[in-house]
Structure 1
């Protein structure tokens, strides 16, 4: 019986990992799509560089 339990827990963990990766992929693609739309509309400078935000550790485009 224990091997069945290990397999079940492994399947549950794999499903949870797929769900988390899927959500993160959608979030990143939404950010990229928004940036592409802004560049096409001309409201965003395409020469913008990324700077690290010291508070969060995330990289964000500069305003310059």
Structure 2
């Protein structure tokens, strides 16, 4: 194979790898941000309350 074709294939492979890594990085960061927001909400007192179900007597998450 001529060296130009090998270099072009290598450049395309590197570009695809960079694109894949960037997409995965954005996905992981979005997941981490969502987790951080949930933790902040819990720390700020937005904890879900439990309410007793009169029919079964079990405690279930309330309407908050």
Pairwise TM-score range, normalised by the shorter structure: 0.5 to 0.7
- Does residue 42 in structure 1 map to residue 35 in structure 2? no
Provide the TM-score with structure 2 as the length reference: 0.63
CA distance in 2 between counterparts of 1:32 and 1:5 reads: 41
CA distance in 2 between counterparts of 1:9 and 1:34 reads: 38
Question: CA-atom RMSD, angstroms?
Answer: 2.5
Gap runs ≥5 in structure 1? 48-61
Structure 1 residue matching 2:18: 3-state secondary structure: helix
- Does residue 27 in structure 1 map to residue 30 in structure 2? yes
Q: CA deviation at 1:45?
A: 2.5
The alignment of Structure 1 onto Structure 2 pairs a total of residues equal to 50
Q: 1:11 aligns with which of 10, 14, 36?
A: 14
What's 2:54 paired with?
none
Q: CA deviation at 1:28?
A: 0.8
